[in-house]
Chain A
């Protein structure tokens, strides 16, 4: 007892011990009586936005309700709600579920194509302002209803464990697609030509490619928890084939397919993996062959200059490729393919292909007055006075790409 008293008197002399006691009494004990946070929240992993009736927003939330069990399983459900604003609709969804909606785990936002016919950033406003959602959250545009899309996604997860964020996670790695997040969208929107790219994923019943799942028929359409199927099972396919919508002022101006994206990415160099194909190629080894090269690395350097008042962009592209597939009738491998380098003719053909691709990409951008290549930044940063003078002469500043001369010099290396 004496010893205890001694220890206590010593402990009370240490101010930090008193602080510790204070925290335990005022925060520790009440915390024991509180509900666990998992019991208060419904965890949302994806949000879908559709245009509703009477100018309302239909919000769909791919949600799971965490339940403390011995076996851990995330059972997802799509919760639908409508409201005059996104926030109001999310609040209603919380009301339907009897839980607070937790948006901290949202990785994907699916937006119906309809929103991109006008300024889509208006509906994105709440999601951008919300601190729970990172600006690195992926944004997808779809031709189907976002709610149907999320239901298919939920089914896909149950059937194959493929999640929607996994599907678009590699978009920035491949030459056929692009990264699409709030961040990339706004970066483009606040640039000179207010142009950005948003990934486009189709949901259809009659596509052979992609990830197909058996999904329920058209949902009942009402708000709340959609638990019932109202008809026969249909096969729905989610196809991320690299399509992207080109937006200007947050509105869609063009739908680019994966070949367009391939051309654009060759000019930007923002990818890590991809192929380049040349058809009808003939040299000493091949005759009318289709050669597929794997792009191992790309280095794009751009330099802006003014020649006699005309803006010129020099693009130097170093492409490191490896021939990985050749298709030709009666093809025989006669030489050691590890030693045999790509022929001079093949390099020339590849160079022409790169030049042509970039020329096509520039034409797409010129047509739509979208500066995805950040040409304005390049010219302005290197020659600010001349750029200002050049821009002042134009009737439409947004059309400046039409007056820029591009000089593309590709260099192909075999690895």
Chain B
């Protein structure tokens, strides 16, 4: 039984890792393009929603500690609703996976792969993702736990060195609340990552007071994301929109290398580790959702279906940054209704039902 669950520390670390998904590469530059430096507010609003989602999860977990989200839906809303819910979850996780893949692939293509095709990148990524998704949640959690110190040290290094090298002030008050609102809406799909906790609900060992640990990891990740965004905007000011890969670019802005050579390679290592975990966690969430839709099929079917779909969509969709941004800004925000409307409303209903009893 223990192998099928992860403890709260492991869940917290996974939450920490997943919160970075799509927020430290393209997003700062895109938000600047839409709302200038006030794009920072888009981060703040979206993170408030993210914390709200996490709070709902913690309340739900407190009230229904040993029950899965799917069981809750089955009991309270019926099997048909359950299937609809989990089809939507599957879609959501798949779309998020495509977005993460697109962004990181284009990033690595620009830096490392150059003329190589997408297939080489897939070969490096897909087997490990599949393996982690095939393994039990504890394996994912333990691997994340083992690499967490490295992630943390590299993140602290990147953030501190980026902040130290800041020597400029951007121009404030050039945007309007409407622009900030539109920027938030357009990029809301980069947030709502805490939704994976709902899918993992019965696989997380939860004791009284464990909510604080989740808040701690989420808060820590949010602080890092915000610091990286601040370092980016203060480093590049007027030209922020010209620099697509925030964490890498902030490291590239460091003038005094102290003989370290390509210091920005540190950021690349961080992005590699984070990408593997983010994609694995989302794939794991996809397979769990798939199993809820087709309970009689084994995990292999979920993975094979995913791999086929993934290869087809990647072949059709992954071309350049322009297409990725179009996909992220015009299609994906609709899917965020699942994480920021559907799941919260359902959770509130479940909480209200429990209270009435």
Give chain A's interface residues, CB within 8 Å of chain B: 15-16, 19, 22-23, 27, 128, 131, 134-136, 172, 183, 186-187, 190-192, 270, 374, 376-378, 380-381, 384
Contacts and interface: CB of A to CB of B under 8 A. Distances in A.
A23 B126 CA distance: 13
6 contacts: A19-B127, A131-B110, A135-B243, A172-B255, A380-B171, A381-B173
A182 to B, nearest CB: 9
Contact of B172 (A128, A190, A381): A381
B242 interface: yes
B127 A135 contact: no
Nearest to A188: B238
Contact of B252 (A15, A19, A136, A374): A136
Contacts of A376: 171
Nearest to A18: B127
A22 B169 contact: no
Contacts of B238: 186-187, 190-191
B239 A190 contact: yes
Given A16-B131, A186-B242, A374 B169 contact: yes
B171 A192 contact: yes
Q: Most chain-A CB neighbours within 10 Å: which of B120, B168, B173?
A: B173
Given A135-B243, A186-B242, A187-B238, A15 B127 contact: yes
A414 to B, nearest CB: 26
B252 A377 contact: no
- Across the A-B interface, give the 8 residue pairs with the lowest CB-CB distance, nearest first: A190-B238, A384-B173, A19-B127, A381-B172, A186-B239, A377-B171, A187-B238, A131-B110
Given A15-B131, A131-B110, A381-B172, 5 more contacts: A19-B123, A187-B168, A377-B171, A380-B172, A384-B173
A15 B304 CA distance: 14
B155 to A, nearest CB: 23
B144 to A, nearest CB: 19
B120 to A, nearest CB: 7
B27 to A, nearest CB: 19
B208 to A, nearest CB: 40
Contacts of B120: 27
B173 A380 contact: yes
A187 B239 contact: yes
Nearest to B255: A172
Nearest to B241: A190
B123 to A, nearest CB: 6
A377 B237 CA distance: 11
Contacts of B253: 136
Contacts of B170: 377
Nearest to A136: B252
Contact of A23 (B123, B131, B243): B123
A377 B168 CA distance: 10
A136 B130 CA distance: 39
A381 B37 CA distance: 11
